[in-house]
Structure 1
Amino acid sequence: MAEEKPRAQIEIINNNEMVPSDPINMAVLQSPPTSTPGSPTQGMSEPTNHNTTGEQYEIEGLGPDSLEVMASHARLVEIGDMFQGMTKVEALCLRQNYIQRIEGFEDCGEVTDLDLYDNRLTKMEGLAAMTKLTVLDLSFNGIRKIENLESLVNLEKLFLISNKITTIENLSTLTKLKYLELGSNRIRKIENLDSLQNLEQLFVGRNKITHIEGISCLPKLRVLSIQSNRIVDLEGLEDNVDLEELYMSHNGLYELKGLDSLTNLTTLDVAANRIARLSNIKHLTKLEEFWFNGNQLEEWKDVELLPYESKTLQTVYMEGNPISKDVNYRRKLMLTVPSLRQIDATLCA
């Protein structure tokens, strides 16, 4: 049975009314010829349907009154003058196409949300006119450098997941930025974030970072994720006293040190490290979730060092540690931490 290919998803909203989907009034897709047996695309199974013919769907129904355009899996190769004269459009979703260049947005100064996730972009460009952007998603492309964002002074969320970025740079004008996602790149150092005084959430998982640094300048940081990097200690967090969620799984941690000032933590994830002793966490009296699975804890007496007296701790993950082989593992945890509602993936009875 042939595998079902992703279907094009096209929606156009004009003056808050979506174009009807009947054959007469809908935004029509003119499909290019389908692949024939033996062609380069025949039988391929990929996240996006690579357009080897260079042809693309034609999107009809666009006009000066269009407010939102969603064109996913539409085989778009270039933007060209598609959005010329569309001065009222506020949201553009062009994800999972084959677009190679950001262009043609000169008239789109009212756009607040631009989604170019999973295309073939290699450069950040063509965004100067979009000064009202609050959300920009350029994830899953081939971008090598953060650049040409100077005019996006209203940006609040920036997604650059799974590109080829090596350096955090050129963000100084994004003073309203609250959410920055740089996971799955080639970054070796956290740096150049000084101007992001309103940043609340920072994600740099799956990079090549060896030290926690460059974040003491972020007074409003609440969520920090540095999963799957090369970090061996937790030094460098002492100034981030408002931190509520810290994700440090899949690193090379040997011990829990450097958490003294993080008394507002509600979630701590240090799973899949090399930690053999529980220490320096009893003062975390607001902790609700503690992820410690896949470590090397052997001593039951260390479990008593969990901040159980505050009665806020509700979820712990301890599977994959030597203590989890104890037949009374769950019972002992529940007796030690009576507030628990979930142990590993199972709710407490």
Structure 2
Amino acid sequence: MANEDTIALPGQDYDVVPIDVLSKNTSIKTLDLSYNNIKKVESLESFKQLTSLVLDNNRIGSNNTFPNLPNLKTLSLNNNDISDLKEFIDSIKNKFPNLTFLSLLKNPACPNYYFTGLDFNDYQKYRYYILYHLKNLKFLDSTPVTLEEIKEAERQGIYSIPAKPTQQDIIPDEADEDEPVYKSLSSELAQEGKGKASFGVSTYVYYGRQSEGNRFIMNDDL
């Protein structure tokens, strides 16, 4: 498996990072553990070549002991249990020095602007706070970072933690027919000719209990 760049293990009911499955593949560049029940991001210290870590639709909270991953560029944590933005950012800001894409949509700490059209000011404060601490970000959630945002983040970002949402503000897990569909990865991040789910990786490996084609997670499913 020396030439394999990607491992995807979506929908396998893992409660923890399955290090027993991954331990012989520490040179992978992309790891997708979406649609599991993982609460903590642990045991990835040896995966120094990772450039993309996708953990959408798990149960990951605000406080994690992330490993130092110097090559990580993409971190996708949509639809998890991150409720304390300061605690979460503190846990990653010194661990991923080259992080350029972060997505936290549908976490309690992320204001619901993209789904309700409301809370624009809170969402902008949330962006300023993150951009103040993560200087290399080029994409946050579904939109690119602008020069104006970077300037404003430097001015007020340290003070811009939005108010924590109340329970009624949090979108339930059950998807509504009219709920907007969002993409966690911009199409600009995928290489031409690789397709929208390739993440720019040339070789794909799928480990699953059943060889169902619909277990491959596309951007539209995130």
1:304 corresponds to which residue? Answer: 129
State the AA in 2 paired with 1:218.
N
**Larger radius of gyration, structure 1 or 2?**
1
State the AA in 2 paired with 1:208.
D
**Whole-angstrom distance in 2 between the partners of 1:258 and 1:231:** 14
Shift of 1:316: 0.6
Give the 4+ runs in structure 1 shifted more than 3 A: 298-310, 331-334
After superposition, the Cα gap between the structure-2 partners of 1:345 and 1:228, relative to the gap in structure 1 and judged at 3 Å, is closer
Structure 1 gaps of 5+ residues are: 1-195, 320-330, 339-343
Residue 204 in structure 1 maps to residue 29 in structure 2: no
1:281 corresponds to which residue? Answer: 92
Query: Is the 1:234–1:256 Cα contact (8 Å) retained in structure 2?
Result: no
Query: Is the 1:263–1:286 Cα contact (8 Å) retained in structure 2?
Result: yes
Shift of 1:296: 1.4
**Whole-angstrom distance in 2 between the partners of 1:332 and 1:199:** 38
State the AA in 2 paired with 1:210.
D
Which segment is superposed worse, 204-213 or 224-233? Answer: 204-213
**Whole-angstrom distance in 1 between the partners of 2:104 and 2:39:** 16
Query: Is the 1:197–1:219 Cα contact (8 Å) retained in structure 2?
Result: no
Query: Is the 1:281–1:306 Cα contact (8 Å) retained in structure 2?
Result: no
Structure with greater strand share of residues:
1
Shift of 1:262: 1.3
1:315 corresponds to which residue? Answer: 139
1:242 corresponds to which residue? Answer: 49
Tell which has more relative contact order, 1 or 2 (C-alpha 8 A, sep 6+): 2
**Whole-angstrom distance in 1 between the partners of 2:154 and 2:75:** 16
After superposition, the Cα gap between the structure-2 partners of 1:232 and 1:336, relative to the gap in structure 1 and judged at 3 Å, is same
**Whole-angstrom distance in 1 between the partners of 2:185 and 2:127:** 21
**Whole-angstrom distance in 1 between the partners of 2:70 and 2:63:** 14
1:336 corresponds to which residue? Answer: 153
Q: Percent identity?
A: 18
State the AA in 2 paired with 1:336.
A
1:228 corresponds to which residue? Answer: 35
Question: What SS is found at the alignment partner of 2:91?
Answer: coil
Structure with greater helix share of residues:
2
Structure 2 gaps of 5+ residues are: 111-121, 156-183, 187-222
Query: Is the 1:216–1:240 Cα contact (8 Å) retained in structure 2?
Result: no
After superposition, residues 69-108 of structure 1 pair within 5 angstroms as none
Q: Provide the TM-score with structure 1 as the length reference.
A: 0.34
